[in-house]
Structure 1
Amino acid sequence: MLNEKLSGLELMKAMVTGDFPHPSMADVVPMKIISAEYGKVIFEAMADERHLNPLGGVHGGFFATVMDLVTGCAVHTTLEPNIGYGTIDLHVKMLKAIPKNTRLIAESRVIQSGYSLGISEGSLRDEKGNLYAHSTATCMIYRDK
């Protein structure tokens, strides 16, 4: 959803306080933003029985979805009102299996935000600091011409 009055950072902060709804993807992959500042966001996420692969482990799509959302939102914090973005490249390194029903912390920071591209990196850890995934993303920034 593109909000024409709020900057990306204002929108993310409004999600933190509950004054703006979370993205509907957060209903499919349980995620909640807990912190936002310029160029950086932190979400919490949790895989459950809905996110398992045929072998009973957490599906790789869970990793990718969490990392796509968090890296994109970090880029969003750098954008002015009425500016959109979309992920055009996402690299996710899955380092170890995610346990289900465990609170995870997804954090992302912007590496570069320019006129047409935003680049960010992210990590997915448990509360003890164990690293489960690392990602980089490139987002196309859409501006009115």
Structure 2
Amino acid sequence: MTQTQSPARSRTIEWTDPAQHASQLGRRSGLELLSAMAAGELPAPPVMHLIDMVGMDVTEGSVTVYLEPQEFHYNPLGTVHGGVISTLLDTAAACSVHSTLPAGVGYTSLDLTVKFLRPVTVASGRLKTTGSVLQRGRRTALAEARMTDSAGRLVAHATSSCMIFEVPGA
């Protein structure tokens, strides 16, 4: 879009140093770290600000994240971009695994398989994405995430495998 076309909308975001979270890996369990973020005792990671997640609920083995769909989430088709939906699903599934890990142990996603079931728009209302651990071993974990709209309809589903490892120097 050029300057001569219709007026652009804008958005400004702020975030804190993400090293604050990394420094906690050796001192807090995943559940303690995620609970502190959910309670506002630790700042949210930058990605939460970038896509404007509006909250998180944490229990051992399950994490729920929320998002109010906005215009800035849209793709050229006028629906929420699949990358935004995938980010929420990945966050809920992987953080569910994180919630089961002791201090000094980290994880990373190995894969994410997403099924988009309904289009998501501003009219969908608040999205609720709940991740759950299906199985956790010493080296890998399997988790799923389910995204529902404000009417409780399933709009997307994902499964994710995560690799579990000791954090060097933790």
* Pairwise same-fold verdict (TM > 0.5): yes
Tell me what 2:118 maps to: 96
CA distance in 2, matches of 1:144, 1:61: 28
Secondary structure of the residue that 2:122 maps to in structure 1? Answer: coil
Higher mean C-alpha deviation, range 12-21 or range 97-106? 97-106
Larger Rg: 2
Q: Is the 8 A contact 2:133 2:142 kept in 1?
A: yes
- How do residues 30-109 of structure 1 correspond to structure 2 at under 5 angstroms? 30-100=52-122, 102-109=125-132
Q: Which runs of 5+ in 1 are unaligned?
A: none
Aligned residues: 145
Equivalent positions of 1:4-43 (< 5 A) are 4-43=26-65
Say whether the 8 Å CA contact 1:33–1:44 is kept in structure 2: yes
2:106 and 2:167 in contact (8 A); partners too: no
Unpaired segments ≥5 residues, structure 2? 1-20
- Amino acid aligned to 1:112: Q
**Is the CA contact 2:54–2:68 (under 8 Å) kept in the aligned structure 1?**
no
Supply the distance in 2 between the matched residues of 1:30 and 1:135 (Cα, whole angstroms): 21
Q: Write the distance in 2 (CA, Å) between the matches of 1:33 and 1:120.
A: 20
TM-score by length of 1: 0.93
| Equivalent residue letter for 2:122 | K
Summarize the Cα distance change of 1:33–1:110 in structure 2 as closer, same or farther, 3 Å threshold: farther
How far apart are 1:30 and its partner, in Å?
1.7
Distance 1:32 1:141, change over 3 A: farther
Q: State the shift of 1:22 in Å.
A: 1.3
- The separation in 2 between residues aligned to 1:10 and 1:144, in whole angstroms, is 16
TM-score by length of 2: 0.80
Deviations 1:30-61 (CA, angstroms, capped at 9, x unpaired): 21443211101111112212111112221111
Aligned CA RMSD, in angstroms, stands at: 1.5
Q: Once the two structures are superposed, what CA deviation does each residue of 1:48-82 show, in whole Å capped at 9, x if it has no partner?
A: 12111112221111111111111110000010112
